[in-house]
Structure 1
Amino acid sequence: MQDVNTMEKKLAEYKCDTNEAICLKLVRFPEDVDDDSTTFHPEYSHQLFGDDEVAFGYKGLQIQLFYSAGNLSTLFKVKYSAKVTEKFDCVEPDDVEGKIREVIPAGFSCNTDDFISLLEKEANFKPFGTLLHTYTVHSVEEGEDLTYQIHKVNVSCPGFKEFHERLQTFLLWFIETASFIDADDDRWDFFLVFEKYNKDGETLFAVVGYMTVYNYYVYPDKTRPRVSQMLILPPFQGEGHGAQLLEAVHRYYCTCPKVQDITAEDPSDNYVKLRDFVLVKLCMALPSFSTDRLKHGFSEEMAHEAQDKLKINKKHARRVYEILRLRATDMSDVEQARDYRLEVKKRLYGPYRKNQREITKMKKCLRPEELASHVSQMDTQVQHEELEKSYQEVLGDYRRVIERLALV
């Protein structure tokens, strides 16, 4: 038994956390390759290495996936200080290299010198597609305003399909349920963010992030763009690029008469918060959302104007109304606070009312013990507690949007 435990402990030394082992980098200059400060790591690696996100068989494992900042030319190398087969003949290490090769497209370099030579060609790289929007962000680190561009691209753009195959590999590391898309489908729209920067007097471009949108058909002659995946790469997160991208995408589709409204596929909590901020910012300019109209409640005029001018559906327009009404409400005033609370809780109570109606319908077909089970789920005290909890969570989300608006 002792020998078995000793063997297990020794083998445990050959387990590596793949989120730490995978080293990602966007390389602008040759010196970036050996600069650890430019390295970032995945949030997720379970799609390749299982739910425990562990690779077995190595000590000091380092999986290098370095990309040129613009064209995303790729360097792939696997390093380690020791391998399990060097000491234990009967144990096989995980095929780390094979797993990575399954997801990165062919054409990568395995030699650092070859990769650095590709950096010299970055001057030839120019953003794909049509320029939609240009903006600046002040960089404290650089001490200057940096310029960014947002481009709209479709897959027919020469060279883009190959570029997208390299770009989408980042999704695996930063979106928990990420999947690759069929980019050959011409219903896909792509929106890319690039930073303009100078190198030896030349203007170059670096990838910041992107969004994919699928255009669904809506009878009889409309489309409904649905945001599929959105990613701002880690070196650029927290700088406002996500809001700039989402607003630019909304403004683009607002110019398309065939678009009914814009939705999102299985949005994350962070995406919902970002969307709240962007839609509120856009709706503030609409007459129906003016401060003097907010106190009269959510109206069909608000829903219609948001849909007609900004392609925002009724559900999202209602959420925008609640945020703007909170912004215009003096919550220290007992009466104003009560009116606002009742207005929001009335909407939140909708699912409970629906559940009650369903129970009423089921009374005729349920056995007594089944009915008792359903009714117990609808205990009034529990409802009130859940409703208050939901209200406080919504209030917290709304206040964060209002705080961010104050900084604009």
Structure 2
Amino acid sequence: MDNNNNDIGTDSSSHVGSLINSDSVLSGLDQQVLREWISKWTFHNHEFSALAQPLIRGCPHLRLSTLSYQDMRETPLQMPAMEVVIAGAQYYKKAHHHHHHSEKNHVADYAECLRLLSMWGVDVDQVDVGGFTAFMRAAQGEAGLELAAVLLDLGANVDHRSRFGGVALHEALMARDRRAVAFLRRQGGSLDICDYDGVSPRDIPESGSEPECDSESEDAGADVIQFHPAFTYAIYGEHERVFGYKNLRINLCYASGSLATFLWADHGRCITDMETSMAVSLKADDVITPLRAVLSENALCGSKEEFAAQVARDTAGFRPFGRKVWEGDLRDDAFREYHRRLQTLCLLYIEGAQFIDDAMSGGGYSWRLSGRWSMQKRPRISQFLVLPPFQAQGHGSELYRFVHACVRASPEYVELAVEDPSEAFDDMRDRNDMRFLLDQGAQMDWTVPRTRVQPQADDAVLEIGALKRLDKTDAEAYRRFRLFVKRRIYAQNTDAMAGMDAEERKKRVNDSFESVVEDYHRILSLL
């Protein structure tokens, strides 16, 4: 969706410019205008100066004048040095989320950058064009809250107020980021500071505190479970923002049997209705149409009453298509319609997910919609989903073992590929593959040929198995294992290390090795 659909006239850029160049506090329409402009900024390396490049890459070996970092202002957002570090950490974590077991080292290097900047006199509470500090950006969670904790240790103000009057808790609550909200509350973040529109964090509903879809569903004997999407950019654009509303809540209800849906939204003030003397007109984004476009029209209920009646019918008489774990065929009309209703959830919980062509056969799910997987004609897992309320209960492992057994049972297949797996999936797969190989009595040897089409996944299982068999008292064997893993780490990160000198590369590879081995021990402890 193109979020730039606000009917802004020719005077809009000059008005934004006047807001940027002013130090005044902002409320009402001016706040909405500058927020929208800030939200459209995206990370591009070329926008950062040569001085900022080590900061965005988390390279703590900074050699230039410390005064330059104190005065740094980067990108159109005029980011100070510490915020540049956080922006880089957020971008590179998202861009390289599929690099196996690298997060601990990633965070440590950016943390060291922040500490060096503080040691050199850079103010931890310097602000950008919106009055946001590095801490306020870090508390939005993209790079993990570890860096926010580092900034607090360096003296960051947990209740610093932006030009809009809000604090970090305002931003976390509006983003429905439960982890960030809990973190900020633990750090003493105030619930009573009002922004310049008179809204305090206490006025913003916390994630999970919204009213249930409809009390009639509970009266009908249905269980009501609420959870929030992980991703919305496939629906609302890259920035995952909807412009023009205060306290917007979008409600999408599913009946867990038939997957009938009911969609509605409510909100406080809307920018379209606000009076202004500006020579521009602003229009709130369409909330319903983009989401409705990815839902099955046959599944949509027209009212809460119709949805409640469908939930009651499902509770009384719905039966799943097959057994607890069942393989479906998209050539079957009934399953194809069910699949259309189900696949919207993939957009909301699988990063980069796309709808699967109906011409591709295969797919499955476990009952009560705890999980779902899809596999194309050749053996490749393209989508694998366990819904949030059912995670960490073994459903993912059960689904994966089911798919693995199906592929093993066919003499046509010798490999099972996975399309762009997440770190959580990698972790689950490593544990299950290790269990399978150990049950089969496999001998782990890093000289044997690869057995899966995903090289990184194969390396992980091979290295975990080798570590399990390693004689810790044999110094030569451990040295060979260490060199083997380090060569693999370097080969997979050659581009990222291209700008480092030899000592820096050596340190980065060694830190990654220590992090990898620590995580392998964690996985082995779970077997």
| Cα deviation, residue 389, structure 1 | 3.1
Aligned position for 2:150: none
Contact 2:218–2:224 (8 Å) recurs in 1: no
Q: Secondary structure at the match of 1:284?
A: helix
Contact 2:214–2:304 (8 Å) recurs in 1: no
- Counterpart pick for 1:387 among 492, 503, 509: 509
Aligned position for 2:366: 193
Alignment of 1:100 onto 2:275: no
Alignment of 1:110 onto 2:308: no
| Cα deviation, residue 177, structure 1 | 1.0
Alignment of 1:271 onto 2:425: yes
Number of residue pairs the alignment of both structures matches: 333
| Cα deviation, residue 281, structure 1 | 0.9
Q: After superposition, give the CA deviation of every residue in 1:52-100 in whole Å (9 maximum; x if it has no partner).
A: 3221222222211000112111111122233333333843211111111
Contact 1:14–1:59 (8 Å) recurs in 2: no
**Cα distance between partner residues in 2 of 1:253 and 1:74:** 34
Contact 1:75–1:115 (8 Å) recurs in 2: yes
Aligned position for 1:176: 351
**Cα distance between partner residues in 2 of 1:385 and 1:85:** 54
Aligned position for 2:381: 227
Residues 379 and 282 from structure 1, CA distance in 2 versus in 1: closer, same or farther, beyond 3 angstroms? same
Aligned position for 2:464: 323
Aligned position for 1:341: 482
Alignment of 1:91 onto 2:267: no
- Counterpart pick for 1:209 among 368, 371, 385: 371
What amino acid does structure 2 have at the position aligned with 1:126?
Answer: R
Residues 92 and 383 from structure 1, CA distance in 2 versus in 1: closer, same or farther, beyond 3 angstroms? closer
Moved over 4 A (4+): 1-7, 12-29, 311-318, 332-336, 346-352, 376-380
Aligned position for 1:259: 413
Aligned position for 1:70: 257
**Cα distance between partner residues in 2 of 1:47 and 1:318:** 32
TM-score normalised per structure 1: 0.69
Is there any run of 5+ residues in structure 1 with no aligned partner, and where? 132-148, 195-205, 217-224, 356-375
Q: What is the aligned-residue RMSD (CA, Å)?
A: 3.9
Higher RCO, Cα 8 Å, sep 6+: 2
**Cα distance between partner residues in 2 of 1:66 and 1:184:** 28
Q: Secondary structure at the match of 1:56?
A: coil
Q: Secondary structure at the match of 1:169?
A: helix
Aligned position for 2:394: 240
**Cα distance between partner residues in 1 of 2:516 and 2:380:** 24
What amino acid does structure 2 have at the position aligned with 1:41?
Answer: H
Residues 37 and 313 from structure 1, CA distance in 2 versus in 1: closer, same or farther, beyond 3 angstroms? closer
Aligned position for 1:156: 331
Residues 226 and 27 from structure 1, CA distance in 2 versus in 1: closer, same or farther, beyond 3 angstroms? farther
**Cα distance between partner residues in 2 of 1:157 and 1:65:** 27
More strand by share: 1
Aligned position for 1:365: none
**Cα distance between partner residues in 2 of 1:32 and 1:392:** 55
Contact 1:26–1:67 (8 Å) recurs in 2: no
What amino acid does structure 1 have at the position aligned with 2:292?
Answer: R
Q: After superposition, give the CA deviation of every residue in 1:233-257 in whole Å (9 maximum; x if it has no partner).
A: 0111121211111111101111011
Contact 1:14–1:83 (8 Å) recurs in 2: no
Q: Secondary structure at the match of 2:253?
A: strand
Q: Secondary structure at the match of 2:369?
A: strand
**Cα distance between partner residues in 2 of 1:126 and 1:165:** 18
**Cα distance between partner residues in 2 of 1:95 and 1:343:** 54
Is there any run of 5+ residues in structure 2 with no aligned partner, and where? 1-17, 37-172, 178-204
Contact 2:330–2:358 (8 Å) recurs in 1: yes
| Cα deviation, residue 388, structure 1 | 1.9
**Cα distance between partner residues in 1 of 2:387 and 2:213:** 10
Residues 65 and 14 from structure 1, CA distance in 2 versus in 1: closer, same or farther, beyond 3 angstroms? farther
Aligned position for 1:138: none
Contact 2:233–2:240 (8 Å) recurs in 1: yes
What amino acid does structure 1 have at the position aligned with 2:525?
Answer: E
**Cα distance between partner residues in 2 of 1:50 and 1:377:** 33
Q: Secondary structure at the match of 1:168?
A: helix
Identity %: 28
Q: Secondary structure at the match of 1:78?
A: strand
What amino acid does structure 2 have at the position aligned with 1:168?
Answer: Q
Contact 1:66–1:74 (8 Å) recurs in 2: yes
